Chain A
Amino acid sequence: MSTKEKSKVETADAPPGIEGPGFFATRIDKVVGMARANSLWPLPFATSCCGIEFMATMASTYDLGRFGAERLSFSPRQADLLMVMGTISKKMAPVLRQVYEQMAEPKWVLSMGACASSGGIFDTYSVLQGIDRVIPVDVYIPGCPPRPEQVLDGILQIQKLVESESIRRRDTPEYKALLNKYGME
């Protein structure tokens, strides 16, 4: 008998279900949620120093790839997660909104850092006082700029949301009401 060393690689836990010899039964939305959460394609919308911190998050020391999000999408059509990192000026706001609208459902938004979340120190005539004035936001990461650990935590929070949401979130009245609040359909 050979003693196999236990693998140190942790894989995603199987969703709760009924298991027996040769079969495993669970709910389809749990499986879809698990798959979505562990294969997010982030679209980095980096405008300033938070973007630099995001580069560290993507690089080998912190390695966002461990959470299945190493494939950045620079096309909004293929992205699941919009990561807004940095100061957004009022002139940039319509661009950000258009990028969000071009993303296909299901989509999530992560606001990284003080500027994207609230305008930060830039309480001035030219800066948007938080991206939630033009697009809905799922997770806010505080900090100026946040440490890569905080960004990873934010991604994990997004994954929790993704796992627990229904397959067609866009059909729910709450989601429609949220988008209507921003003048989108």
Chain B
Amino acid sequence: METQALLTAVEQKLKAQFPEGYVSSELIADYPTFIVKRDSILDVVKFLYNDVDTSFQYLTTLATIHYPDHTGQEFAVMYQLHDLRKNLRIRIKIFFSSSDTHVPSITSVFSAANWMERQEFDFFGIIFTGHPNLKRILNMDEMTYHPMRKEYALEDGTREDKDDKMFGR
């Protein structure tokens, strides 16, 4: 199936099934991308999983993006789904504010989302409601912040041997 045809087909289904939850769709670099509302993400994923024509039963990846300049929509969570039967791929995005980082967990549909969601919690502080074991996965347990948020410096901050003149800071 052509990507444009796939985009139209899935768009029509989502529009019919989720008149409230569907926001927009776009073909980005030949990759059909859909934006839905945060509260309907679990239902959308479940619907696409069980759909007879295009069964997206493989979660390729899941990631968080931080846009500190987008007031009111600072965070995005991106899901990439794969239909193994027809070899089709789509991407679903949700946007939400940094004041409320609760997102419905999709672990009830994809077990693979368990560790992925833990990673997003670890690095961005996204709280996945309904996750069975939401704790840090990669960073040390004593860490007190979520380091991939752009308000935090990348550097360690405890080094005393660095001369700012030499490092251009």
Contacts and interface: CB of A to CB of B under 8 A. Distances in A.
A91 B139 contact: yes
Given A125-B147, A126-B147, A119 B139 contact: no
Nearest to A127: B156
Nearest to A92: B140
Given A91-B139, A91-B140, A125 B152 contact: yes
Contacts of A90: 139-140
B28 interface: no
A8 B76 CA distance: 70
Given A90-B140, A91-B140, A123 B161 contact: no
B100 interface: no
Nearest to B161: A118
A90 to B, nearest CB: 5
Secondary structure at the A interface, as helix, strand, loop or mixed, is loop
B87 interface: no
Interface string B135-169: 00011100100010000111111110110000000
Contact of B159 (A89, A91, A119, A126): A119
Interface residues of B, number: 15
Tell which of A90, A118, A123 has the most Cβ of chain B within 10 Å: A123
Contacts of B159: 119, 123, 129
A126 B161 contact: no
Interface string A122-154: 011111010000000000000000000000000
A123 B140 contact: no
Nearest to A90: B140
B139 A123 contact: no
Contacts, number: 31
A125 B153 CA distance: 8
A118 B52 CA distance: 57
A70 B72 CA distance: 62
A144 B139 CA distance: 25
B155 A126 contact: no
Nearest to A91: B140
A150 B20 CA distance: 67
Interface in A45-99: 89-91
A47 to B, nearest CB: 15
A112 to B, nearest CB: 19
Tell which of B140, B161, B162 has the most Cβ of chain A within 10 Å: B140
A131 to B, nearest CB: 14
6 contacts: A90-B139, A91-B138, A124-B155, A125-B147, A127-B156, A129-B159
Given A90-B140, A125-B154, A125-B155, 15 more contacts: A91-B140, A119-B156, A119-B159, A123-B159, A124-B155, A124-B156, A125-B143, A125-B147, A125-B152, A125-B156, A126-B138, A126-B147, A127-B156, A129-B156, A129-B158
